[in-house]
Structure 1
Amino acid sequence: MRVLTNAGRFTPPGQGEGRRYTEELRVPDLSVGTYCVPVGGKDTQLPHTEDEVYVVASGRAKLTAASGTVDVGPGSVVFVPAGEEHRFTDIAEDLTVLVFFGPAEYTRRQT
């Protein structure tokens, strides 16, 4: 067992960064991280080769994907399949999201 002590805690991005991602756990079939985007920050992520589940710990925003747009806030859980373009927009409150990748992020080959 391993307790992920800092998972889900807001950590502001560094100077000149619009967002921050901290990987909390990595095993072959799963990785878990905390994604933080402050009000005024910009989510510039590109589609991933792994499936993702987002669990919003705090904050409010929209999650815009190729398949649609949804409002997210504390407790929201959203699945984004591998390869689907997506990003958080309209950040209304500092956003903290737990991100679960299956398999672990960057383990599938790019095609």
Structure 2
Amino acid sequence: MVRLAAMQIIEGAGRWTPPPAGTANDWVEHLKTPDLSVGTYCIPAGGIDDQSPHTEDEVYVVTAGRARIVTPDGEAAVGPGAVIFVPAGEEHRFVDVTEDLSLLVFFGPAYGSRGGAATA
């Protein structure tokens, strides 16, 4: 994507989308500049979060659904409105997804810009 020169409305960001057939989850990047990227990550109820740690800091905003997030330091139940910060390199995973989970995701700097990025 190209760096934007003006304000932009990001249609559909954070909206639930069923993963494509045969996949565990769905990641769509909506916006990418050198310093920031924004996307939507969806995991269906009962689904598996197969992501790996990222090389960028990350903020999740839960827009729909319920699950637990697990890190080496603990775990917490999350639902609509929860905001979660995960520092670069920290193992994390959503488990016990009891309702279709939709997350608005912000990466700083942009996702994959530090190299070695895994699936969102």
Identity %: 59
Pick from 7, 11, 16: which aligns with 2:17?
11
Name the aligned partner's letter for residue 20 of structure 1. D
Consecutive unaligned residues in structure 1, runs of 5 or more: none
Partner of 1:65: 71
Partner of 1:26: 32
Partner of 2:43: 37
Q: Distance in 2 between matches of 1:55 and 1:68?
A: 19
**Secondary structure of 1:104's partner?**
coil
Pick from 75, 99, 108: which aligns with 1:93?
99
Name the aligned partner's letter for residue 66 of structure 1. P
**Secondary structure of 2:105's partner?**
strand
Number of equivalenced pairs: 110
Deviations 1:7-28 (A, max 9, x none): 0111100111110000011000
Q: 1:79 Cα deviation (Å)? A: 0.3
Larger strand proportion of the pair = 1
Partner of 1:79: 85
TM-score with structure 2 length normalisation?
0.89
**Secondary structure of 2:103's partner?**
strand
Q: 1:109 Cα deviation (Å)? A: 3.4
Pick from 97, 101, 109: which aligns with 1:103?
109
Task: Write out the 4+ residue segments of structure 1 that deviate beyond 2 Å after TM superposition.
Answer: none
Name the aligned partner's letter for residue 104 of structure 1. A
